[in-house]
Amino acid sequence: AQSVSQHNHHVILSEAASLELGCNYSYGGTVNLFWYVQYPGQHLQLLLKYFSGDPLVKGIKGFEAEFIKSKFSFNLRKPSVQWSDTAEYFCAVNAAWRDDKIIFGKGTRLHILP
Amino acid sequence: NAGVTQTPKFQVLKTGQSMTLQCAQDMNHEYMSWYRQDPGMGLRLIHYSVGAGITDQGEVPNGYNVSRSTTEDFPLRLLSAAPSQTSVYFCASSRDRGSYGYTFGSGTRLTVV
């Protein structure tokens, strides 16, 4: 069964700093990968997704993620964060063409200092 | 277009009571799922469905029942509520297999006392 590991549980950055949140998955086959964001008091929203093609995926609000198959990783990046990026971020994986479940990591809580 | 609608938004139950969390989507999505969110645990899959009449268990199915009699509705039943089921519950739907990602409802905050 697939699983997802997010290395950082809580990240604190100042505005304009660069961001990278780590995500590793365990599954030997083809995968679909996702990053979701949950702003305080709200439900999850899809930031970006990868299911084939260019391993560098661009999402909303200036976020991007790179799929590195050899490392089983799908790290989220943003060159310059804003206070409004304060939220919890979840990485998720789906075993493509085999399973219909999406399994989530435990999340990374990001706090941006103004 | 309402998307995924969950009711109620808040609920307090006594241990041993039963209740049904409602989830409805108006996007004609085949795939629907229920997750629970607990601090430090992320989202854990309870049950999911790939179409009307078809359901399957996720990571933490014990204590919960689901059915999918129509494409639009996917209710989650708590058979005999326990304090360990205190959580925020999210329903989600997807147009196709997981590759498209899920659209989430706004959640139900359940407290079992």
In degrees rounded to 5, what are phi and psi of residue A88? -110, 140
Which tokens belong to A86?
A: 């304060």
In the structure encoding, which two tokens stand for residue B6, read together? 């969950």
- Work out the minimum CA distance from B78 to partner chain A, whole angstroms: 21
Who has greater pLDDT, B79 or B100?
A: B79
Mutation to test the A interface, candidates B6, B41, B43, most A Cβ within 10 Å? B43
Question: Is the per-residue pLDDT at A12 higher than 90?
Answer: yes
pLDDT value at A3 more than 90: no
pLDDT at site B77: 98
The model's pLDDT over A88-99, given as tens digits with 9 standing for 90+, comes to: 999 999 887 666
The answer to whether A8 contacts chain B (CB < 8 Å) is no
**By the CB < 8 Å criterion, does A42 face chain B?**
yes
CB contacts of A101 in chain B (<8 Å) are 33, 45, 48, 58, 98
Residue B99 in this model has a pLDDT that exceeds 70: no
Residues of A in contact with B41 (CB under 8 A): 106
Take residue A66 and report the two structure tokens written for it: 């790179």
pLDDT band at residue A33 using 50, 70 and 90 as cut-offs? very high
A63-96 residue pLDDT tens:
999 999 999 999 999 999 999 999 999 999 988 7
Radius of gyration of chain B (CA): 13
pLDDT value of residue B98: 60
Instruction: Kindly state the DSSP code that residue A85 receives in the 8-state scheme.
Output: G
Closest residue of A to B42, CA-based? A106
A49 closest CB neighbour out of B33, B44, B101: B101
CB A106 within 8 A of CB B41: yes
CB B21 within 8 A of CB B89: yes
- Put simply, whether A13 touches B (Cβ < 8 Å) is no
Which pLDDT score, from 0 to 100, does residue A17 have?
Answer: 97
The pLDDT value recorded for residue B113 is 97
Interval B1-51: pLDDT, tens:
679 999 999 999 999 999 999 999 999 999 999 999 998 888 999 999 989
Structure tokens at B60: 């933490």
